[in-house]
Structure 1
Amino acid sequence: MQSYVDQNIITNLSFGVWQDGQLITEGNYGPISETISAPVSDTTIYRIRSMTKPVTAIGLLILMERGHFKLSDPITKFLPEFEENEVLADYDSDGVLYTYPWLYSPTMEQLLAHTAGFAYDRTNSGVIDQKLNESGISDSPDTDEFVRTLASFPYVSMPGAEWNYSFASDLQGAIIERITGQSLAEFLKKEVFDPLHMSDTGFYVAPRESVRISGVGRLFQGEFKYIELEASDFTAQSRVYFEGGHGLYSTRSDYFKFLNMLRKGGRVGDHQIISSETSDRFQRNAIQYRGGHGRQRSYGGGAGLGFGLGIGTIEEPELAQLPAPKGTMYWTGALGTWFWIDPVNDIVFIGMTQSDGAVEPNMMKGSMITIYGDPNSLNAEMR
């Protein structure tokens, strides 16, 4: 794995492998950033992007267990802005959208499973995604404005019809705020991070700790270069909109505490974050699955993959072309962080780097091959 740092394919790499809850091997390669030559470690701070999503989902499930909603409740119970929404039917070459009325509101379960019908703001996807990107929705000044902007666009599919990577996790965060009257940052700190002693995880990093934040790199025509993110990226304590889908910073050491809680059925020490029943439900595939034609599209076109109530699942390893066993849970972050939990062999893997853009080869698949071997006997072992 060190070779990817040595070859300037990625900025740095910190990884750990745990079995039976014990760290059995780890690796830390490369400097923290362009200006900080100290090597990365399990306490280097990374922008974990979409690895925020499972954390937000657990936060919402905590409120479900406290009786604030049922999985069958409509999301409009908390998000009335969507009561008049319609579903996209088609669009013309001028970008004019044609819609039809929905038949029913998405449920809380569909919101958690990303089958509620929402889009994202990616420029390389469908027309609604592109229009959301043009709207600047990710720069919303507060949660309510984010919800209003999203509600001004139609659903991309009828609720429950298919899996779509979407703003569903950000809406989960909005619901948490509306139920509790707290910001998402305050709620997750009190209910998840503090009980799990995740002191280095949050939506911003104190300025005095900024020297621990990993630099971000990008490949330009085969040459690796560091890039600068906005100055307020990690110290904006005054902001009021916290993205439930991609806003967290964390360390490898901290994030293991969260995954270890899931591994142990929602409990760590004296703290029962969620019940074992809810933990099992969170980890169990919740989307329509038709033997290799699942709607989860993160890897391999979705073949062999599922999705629980906030986390990806491997349903058919051969179809997914992933060597981890059936029932393995996983997720990734856009800047190069990834993890999986293998309940069969009781293995947890966490890898962290920071690369703006696609990281080749696929780091998660490659790291799985390192642990399990390549089931297809491909010459793809990471060295």
Structure 2
Amino acid sequence: MTTTPVSISRPGPEYEAHVRQGFSQPRLERLGASLEEQIAKGIFPGAVTMIMRHDECVHFEAYGFQDAAGKIPMARDSIFRLASMTKPLVTVAAMMLVERGRFNLYDPITNWLPELKDLKVEAPEGDVPLIRPITIQDLMRHTAGFVHGDRAKSPRIRKLYDELHIEAREHDILGDQMLKNLGTIPLAHQPGTFWEYSIAVDVLGLLLERVENKTLEEILNVLLIKPLGMKDTTWWVEPERLGRLAEAPDSDPLKAEMLKAYRQTTNPVGRTYLRGGAGLLGTAADYMRFLHMMLRGGELDGRRYLSRRTVEFMCSEHTAGMGGTTQANTGPGYGFGLGFAVRLSQGMCWVPGSPGESLWSGVWGTSFWLDFKENLTALILTQGPTHKIQSRMLYKTLVYSALVK
């Protein structure tokens, strides 16, 4: 019996015309249709999405509306509360100072923050001494023993974070006073033993201010924001830009309470400390400049911000063997580096990606990732805090479903 061989031909020019830097343009159109469905369901009023691969922007779109009432169309230059997407910027700035010899990762933070020299650790038998000092590396990877007050498992620690305004949730507090207050609250874990999402990068920002004798705003402006041309990335929204601020839907049950903590329509400098973990606002194009620089190994437009090996070091796992998990933020299959969660393998994760991929997100609904293997970076900016996990996972799935070459 003879069989006729099956001929498998190469895609014709009509196929190639619809593929740009490996992305199928028809498949990318699914992304917009899916986001429009989310908007119609009231998950968020609108979104801005952006994808870069091989130094080319292959997708940059705005969907839905900027305002909760659904009257102002979303624009590509709409401004979003970046929330915890502030953390990677502050951590990168800190690593730039490490490269300049200003401090070492293993330095105790009390070298600059003496208010924290008497910290203890809460334990069943009572508060106990630290087994070793908190280091700057601990701040960058959330292993210092600090927590977020509203997530703290200890009722005592949760109460103290709230009463002493550690996170400036509803009351302004200057950095020196915040550190004095923090120095009276026990840690939840021994330093370097447990990963727990925390105020660590807020503390890192205050440490950078002590090291440089400048405000965190000045430090970031000099090191990253102005050199990268991030013209709309700020700590507050001036009146002339307020009309570009994206809103969460009024129906979102988290919105009203969260707005109390994000008082970003007046200048915080001199009024309250700049929250290195959550204080910035910005646009998709601005943040993509930062991501593009990281994807290129620390260089952009002929300017070197970090060495290639430092970027690799930051985007490697720094929490192996420790307790705790990033799953509530990333889904399973991730560890943590310096400022970024790091994908450890393929099979444990909820969505496609590449081992070594680095990412983070913000509580309002912002998210990004860096896929070094595919030379790809993507972000989504929305303002829908209740459904943020669903939104970021959906978007990531849709992006990879369009990557065909």
TM-score of the aligned structures, taking structure 1 as reference length: 0.87
Q: Contact (CA 8 Å) 2:166, 2:181: kept in 1 or not? A: yes
Partner of 2:110: 76
Q: Could you say what secondary structure the match of 1:159 adopts?
A: coil
Partner of 1:305: 334
Aligned pairs (5 A) from 1:266-277? 266-277=298-309
Structure 1 CA distance for aligned equivalents of residues 87 and 258 of structure 2: 25
The residue number in structure 2 matching 1:364 is 392
Identity of aligned residues (%): 28
> How does 1:28-43 map onto structure 2 within 5 Å?
28-34=62-68, 37-43=71-77
Q: Distance in 2 between matches of 1:33 and 1:287?
A: 40
User: Which residue of structure 2 aligns with residue 115 of structure 1?
Assistant: 143
Aligned-residue Cα RMSD (Å) equals 2.5
TM-fit CA distance, 1:299: 4.0
- The aligned runs of 1:205-284 (5 Å cut-off) are 205-219=237-251, 229=259, 233-236=264-267, 238=269, 239-284=271-316
1:215·1:226 contact (CA, 8 Å) conserved in 2?
Answer: no
- In structure 2, the residue corresponding to 1:86 is in which secondary structure? coil
1:350 paired residue among 366, 374, 379: 379
Distance in structure 2 (CA, Å) of the matches to 1:266 and 1:204 = 27
- Counterparts of 1:227 and 1:104, CA distance in 2: 37
Instruction: Give structure 1 regions of 4+ aligned residues with deviation exceeding 6 angstroms.
Output: 224-228
2:330 counterpart of 1:296: no
Question: What code does the residue aligned with 1:283 have?
Answer: C
Partner deviation per Cα, 1:305-346 (whole Å, 9 max, x = no partner): 111111111112321323111111111100000011111111
Q: Is the 1:203–1:248 Cα contact (8 Å) retained in structure 2?
A: yes
Contact 1:216-1:228 within 8 A present in 2 as well: no
Instruction: Say if 2:45 and 2:70, in contact at 8 Å, map to a contact too.
Output: no
Range moving further from structure 2, 188-197 or 98-107: 98-107
Deviations 1:264-292 (A, max 9, x none): 111111321122222221111111248xx
Question: Which residue among 14, 31, 42 is the counterpart of 2:48?
Answer: 14
1:320 to 349, 352, 368: 349
Residue 26 of structure 1 corresponds to: 60
Q: For structure 1, which segment, 124-133 or 37-46, has the greater mean C-alpha deviation from structure 2 after superposition?
A: 124-133
Query: Structure 1: how far apart are the matches of 2:68 and 2:57?
Result: 29
Pairwise CA distance, 1:298: 3.2
* 1: CA distance, partners of 2:153 / 2:349: 22
Structure 1: gaps of 5 or more residues: 92-97, 375-383
1:65 positional shift: 1.3
Corresponding position: 1:105 with 2:137: no
Instruction: Call closer, same or farther: CA 1:159–1:225 in 2, change over 3 Å.
Output: closer
Query: 1:23 Cα deviation (Å)?
Result: 1.5
- Quick one: structure 1 residues 232 and 71, their matched pair in 2 at CA, closer, same or farther if it must change by over 3 Å? closer
Shift in CA distance, 360/207, structure 1 to aligned 2, threshold 3 Å: closer
In the other structure, the counterpart of 2:175 is: 143
- Cα deviation digits, residues 231-260 of structure 1 (max 9, x gap): 952232553510000000010010000101
The match for 1:377 is none
CA distance in 1 between counterparts of 2:197 and 2:183 reads 17
Q: Which amino acid aligns with 2:138?
A: Q
> How many residues matched?
362
Distance 2:119 2:257 in 1: 39
Residues of 1 paired with 2:150 and 2:394: CA distance?
26
CA contact (8 A) 1:216 1:226 kept: no
Distance in structure 1 (CA, Å) of the matches to 2:179 and 2:74? 38
Return 5+ residue gaps in structure 2 as ranges: 1-34
Per the TM alignment, residue 69 of structure 1 is displaced from its structure 2 partner at its CA by 1.0
Q: What is the DSSP-based 3-state SS (H/G/I as helix, E as strand, rest coil) of the residue aligned with 2:192?
A: coil
Q: Which has the larger radius of gyration?
A: 2
